[in-house]
Structure 1
């Protein structure tokens, strides 16, 4: 924890990149900060993290979880399961949680009636987890609340919102680990 805190402090001071390394080494694009490109990417990432951790997202997640009697981990599993059943092993790898913790979250989802364990189609030793019909309903209703845009986005004009979406689509497309349910979709330009 102390090492991680030192890396975060170094990032705040502009001394380290997102890997905790100094002088721009290890940046995603391989570029240092000499030309400003690395610094711009860092600050764009910081802005996205600010929205995710300090904006409306945390309170929205809490509201959605309370409304549907779910934990944040359970809601994240529903997001992944919305695109189809997943083996327990894959869920453990996706979320990088201890298998016993993930088992307890799936137990909660089963008690809640939104997911069920099924035999794996090819491996008798393994189980998959799938949404139930109730789980699909809960997922859809949760997404309606979760994806409602915050007031801060209304500070942008419709053209600025469209430009932001186009740019974020490119960033999201470069991140293969994002569940399909969280991937934004292109919106056609309004007529006119």
Structure 2
């Protein structure tokens, strides 16, 4: 991705930097304040967003508690609390690790996979305000976001 042109001192032009800061703040406000799907998914599913994150990750395949803790950037005791709750809800199970019979892996039940799919549906549903934009604006936004994700 090409950076905005620098001035003779190697700095991004001030107006470009100000516009970028305003756009970044606007994105943050849209995603974290006005259309925060984290709260919606947590309320809809009746669990904390940390549990939703664990469910979504486990939907990709079984993990050991240590792997899940590492992926979530949480400590092992807290990850155990999360997994215990998912097991209690019937969304996950601990099974013997086929690669190391001394350890366990956590995998989702059918209900857990369905709940994870519901979470993804909620988190990826665009807000009405976005859907109301002209197609060209939506396509332009998609192009910009795609560039930023690279």
TM range (shorter): 0.7 to 0.9
Q: Which position in structure 2 is the counterpart of 1:163?
A: 140
Q: 1:38 to 1:111 in 2, by over 3 A?
A: same
Give the TM-score taking structure 1 as reference length: 0.63
Deviation readout 1:4-45 (Å, 9 max, x if unpaired): xxxxxxxxxxxxxxxxxxxxxxxxx8x874335655554443
Q: Which has the higher strand share?
A: 2
Q: Which position in structure 1 is the counterpart of 2:83?
A: 106
Q: Displacement, 1:150? A: 0.9
Contact kept in structure 1, 2:56 and 2:119, CA below 8 Å: no
Q: Which position in structure 1 is the counterpart of 2:33?
A: 54
- Distance in 2 separating the partners of 1:77 and 1:102: 9
Q: Displacement, 1:161? A: 0.8
From the CA coordinates, give the structure whose radius of gyration is larger. 2
| RMSD between superposed Cα atoms in Å | 2.5
What's the secondary structure of 1:53's corresponding residue?
helix
Q: Which has the higher helix share?
A: 2
Q: Which position in structure 2 is the counterpart of 1:133?
A: 110
Deviation readout 1:40-64 (Å, 9 max, x if unpaired): 554443333222321211xx32232
Question: Map of 1:133-152 to 2, 5 A cutoff?
Answer: 133-152=110-129
Q: What stretches of structure 2 of length at least 5 have no aligned partner?
A: none
Q: 1:119 to 1:38 in 2, by over 3 A?
A: farther
- Distance in 1 separating the partners of 2:28 and 2:113: 29
* Aligned counterpart for 1:117 among listed residues 94, 100, 113: 94
Between Structure 1 and Structure 2, how many residues are aligned? Answer: 142
Q: 1:89 to 1:38 in 2, by over 3 A?
A: farther
- Distance in 2 separating the partners of 1:141 and 1:43: 33
- Distance in 2 separating the partners of 1:98 and 1:141: 27
